[in-house]
Amino acid sequence: EPEVTQTPSHQVTQMGQEVILRCVPISNHLYFYWYRQILGQKVEFLVSFYNNEISEKSEIFDDQFSVERPDGSNFTLKIRSTKLEDSAMYFCASSESAGGQIGADTQYFGPGTRLTVL
């Protein structure tokens, strides 16, 4: 069964360093998302992405964050200068369709990357 994969599973970094979290969405999916979950808290939406453009982003997704689809298979989340409060699980998700009239769009999540900022 196709699945979303993410690397690395755990990333430890020093405050102020740049990190890139990588995701390989399901191969025929065109819509991509990042979510995060701080330990003990809710899963929070960060950003959605389609056709090399951000569609929607949350207040969390400030100028320190960026996303990119560098090639036909990867989808990345970059944090330019990490802060202690960026420590969280980061989940990538993908969906096949835009949903709406053609039916609901279902997002499938990866296993996550645990980011620890020291």
Would you tell me which residues interact with other proteins (CB under 8 A)?
4, 31, 33, 35, 37, 39, 42-45, 47-48, 50, 55-58, 89, 91, 93, 95, 98-100, 103-112, 114
Whole-number minimum distance, CB 81 to other proteins, in Å? 25
Read off the tokens for 51.
Answer: 């056709």
Beta pairing partners, 76:
22, 68
By CB neighbour count within 10 A (0-12 exposed, 13-18 middle, 19+ buried), where does 42 fall? exposed
Distance of alpha carbon 88 from alpha carbon 64, whole angstroms: 15
Whole-number minimum distance, CB 6 to other proteins, in Å? 8
Whole-number minimum distance, CB 83 to other proteins, in Å? 21
Whole-number minimum distance, CB 68 to other proteins, in Å? 17
By CB neighbour count within 10 A (0-12 exposed, 13-18 middle, 19+ buried), where does 63 fall? exposed
- Nearer to other proteins (CB atom), residue 55 or residue 81: 55
